[in-house]
Amino acid sequence: MIPITSTVRIRDGRHQFWIPLFLVWLLLLPVAILLLPLFFIACLIVRVNPFRAISVLWEILTALKGTDVAVDDGHCSVLVRFP
Amino acid sequence: MNENRRKILEMLSAGQISADEAERLIAALGNEPASSGASGAGAPSKPKYIRVLVEDNGSGNSARVNIRVPMQLLRSGVKLTGLIPDHARTQVNQALRERGIPFDLNQIKPENLEELVDQLADLTVDVDDRNAKVRVFCE
C-alpha cells in the first residue's frame, strides 16, 4: 500500500502541515495516464522493460512508509514523515 | 516493561539522555520480546530501518539531522540499478573505477541483493568531529 498521508513540519512546530497524499495521488493519476505513452516510448528507446520500471517505481512508493527525515539547523527545522 | 519505559522518560525529563537516545532505548524495549521470543535459536532479528543521526557537538556549526529509512526502501532503490541501460552502466562502472572504487553494478542481482541488505545489519558508523557527531546504524 502506498502512503496515503504524510506530515511536514517546518520551524519548530509553529507551522505544521498535514498533507493528504491520497489527494495528491488522485491529482497525479490523470497526468500519469497521459504521460504513460511517452514513458513507454522512452523506455523502449533506452531499452528498459517498461513494466519492470513501473513495478520498481511502485515498490519504491510503497516502501516509503516509515520514512522519517528531520533536519534542525538552529534557525529552522524541517520534519517530513510518512507514517 | 512499563517500569523501564518510565525510567527512560524520567531520564529524558531530567536531561540525562537526549530525545533520540530515549527513542532508541524505547525501541529496544519494544524489540525485547521478539528477540528473546519463541525461536530461542539466537538468530538476530532483521533490521527494519537504517538510521542516520547527526548531532551538534556544542559548536553550533552543525545542523541536527535524524533520518530513518526503511530497509524495504533501500531494497527497492537498489533494484533501480537493474533499470540502468547497459551503456550507461558501463559508463558508471568506468567512472567509479577512475575514482578508485572498483565496483561493478552488473554484480547487483536480485539473488545478491538480499545478502547485501542483510549485511547492513552489522553496519555501524561513528564519526566524532569537533563540530558534529555522526552515527549510521540499523535498528
Q: Which three cell numbers stand for residue B61?
A: 556549526
Q: What's the predicted TM-score (pTM) here?
A: 0.65
Contacts of B49 in chain A (CB under 8 A): 66
For the stretch B118-128, pLDDT in tens is 777 778 888 88
Residues of B in CB contact (< 8 Å) with A are 48-49, 60, 63-70, 72-73, 75-77, 79-80, 82-83, 85-86, 88
Total domains in chain B come to 2
A40, A69, B64 from B126: Cα distances, Å: 44, 19, 15
Kindly determine whether residue A47 and residue B60, on different chains, have CB atoms separated by under 8 Å: no
Residue type, A1: M
- The complex scores an ipTM of 0.76
- Is A1 within the bounds of a domain? no
A-B Cβ pairs (cutoff 8 Å, strict):
61
CB atoms within 10 A of CB B73: 21
Contacts of B69 in chain A (CB under 8 A): 67
pLDDT, residue B62, reads 74
* Confidence at A16, pLDDT banded by 50, 70, 90: low
Looking at the structure, do residues B27 and B82 belong to the same domain, yes or no?
A: no
Phi and psi based region of residue A59 (left: phi greater than 0; alpha: psi -120 to 50; beta: remaining): alpha
Question: Please, what is the average pLDDT of chain B?
Answer: 78
Q: Residue B118: give the domain boundaries.
A: 48-139
The proportion of chain B whose per-residue pLDDT surpasses 70, expressed as a percent, equals: 85
- Is A56 within the bounds of a domain? yes
pLDDT, residue B31, reads 58
Cα B65 from chain centre: 13
Looking at the structure, do residues B23 and B73 belong to the same domain, yes or no?
A: no
Contacts of B64 in chain A (CB under 8 A): 70-73
Kindly determine whether residue B65 and residue A71, on different chains, have CB atoms separated by under 8 Å: yes
Residue type, A70: A
Q: Which residue has the cell 522518560?
A: B9
Count H helices and E strands in chain A, helices first: 2, 4
Total domains in chain A come to 1
Q: What are the two backbone dihedrals, phi and then psi, of residue B16, each rounded to the nearest 5 degrees?
A: -75, -25
- Is A29 within the bounds of a domain? yes
* Confidence at A12, pLDDT banded by 50, 70, 90: low
pLDDT, residue B68, reads 92
Pairing verdict, β B124-128 and B132-138: antiparallel
pLDDT, residue B40, reads 46
Q: Residue A15: give the domain boundaries.
A: 6-81
Q: Is A63 exposed, middle or buried (0-12, 13-18, 19+ CB in 10 A)?
A: buried
For the stretch A19-70, pLDDT in tens is 777 788 888 889 999 999 999 999 888 888 899 889 988 888 888 888 999 9
For the stretch B80-115, pLDDT in tens is 887 888 788 888 889 999 998 888 887 777 677 777
Q: Which three cell numbers stand for residue B91?
A: 559508463
For the stretch B34-70, pLDDT in tens is 444 444 445 567 788 889 999 887 777 778 899 999 9
Alpha helices per DSSP H over B45-127: 71-79, 86-98, 110-119
Kindly determine whether residue B85 and residue A46, on different chains, have CB atoms separated by under 8 Å: yes
Which residues on neighbouring strands pair with residue A77, listed in sequence order?
A72
Nearest Cα neighbor of B83 from A63, A53, A57 is A53
Kindly determine whether residue B64 and residue A71, on different chains, have CB atoms separated by under 8 Å: yes
**HEC readout, B26-62:** HHHHHHHHHHCCCCCCCCCCCCCEEEEEEEECCCCCC
Looking at the structure, do residues B120 and B73 belong to the same domain, yes or no?
A: yes
Give, in degrees to the nearest 5, the angle at Cα B83 between B81 and B89.
Answer: 60
pLDDT, residue B36, reads 44
Looking at the structure, do residues B69 and B126 belong to the same domain, yes or no?
A: yes
- Between CA B55 and CA B24 the distance in angstroms is 15
Looking at the structure, do residues B4 and B53 belong to the same domain, yes or no?
A: no
